[in-house]
């Protein structure tokens, strides 16, 4: 019976630690979608901030890819890739900011499954 009580108490402690991390680093997680490297410098011990810094880095790299492809490819890039790609990435950034503000570690659609930072 004491084993059951120990296993039930452990998740509560872990949840409290995670919620403290989330409360302390929500601002850094939100900032990760605007300037991804700030949380890398200021909150590198926070799992929550690093998760969102990773998402922000992937979003930034996708933005560079959309910009390069949209600029290099004539007409198709100028009329389709740049406007629609930029719109999609702005929507992803807003989704990431909302998730960070709500304290969630929810991956972004399509690009959220990749992990570049440890």
Over the stretch 35-73, which tens digit does the pLDDT of each residue have? Answer: 999 999 999 899 999 999 999 999 999 999 999 999 999
Helix or strand holding residue 72 (H, E): helix 47-72
Residue 63, both tokens:
């933005």
Roughly how many angstroms between the first and final C-alpha of the chain, as a whole number?
38
Cα 80 to Cα 89: distance, rounded to the nearest angstrom: 14
Is residue 12's pLDDT more than 80? Answer: no
pLDDT band at 16 (very low <50, low <70, confident <90, very high): low
CB 56 within 8 A of CB 36: yes
């Amino acid at each position: 019976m004491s084993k059951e009580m120990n296993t039930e108490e452990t998740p509560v402690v872990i949840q409290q630690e995670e919620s403290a991390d989330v409360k302390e680093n929500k601002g850094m997680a939100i900032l990760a979608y605007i300037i991804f490297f700030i949380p890398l410098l200021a909150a590198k011990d926070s799992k929550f901030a690093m998760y969102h810094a990773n998402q922000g880095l992937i979003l930034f790299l996708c933005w560079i890819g959309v910009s390069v492809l949209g600029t290099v490819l004539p007409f198709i890039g100028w009329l389709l890739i740049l406007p629609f790609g930029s719109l999609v990435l702005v929507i992803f950034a807003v989704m990431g900011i909302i998730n960070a503000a709500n304290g969630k570690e929810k991956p972004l659609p399509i690009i959220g499954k990749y992990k570049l930072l440890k």
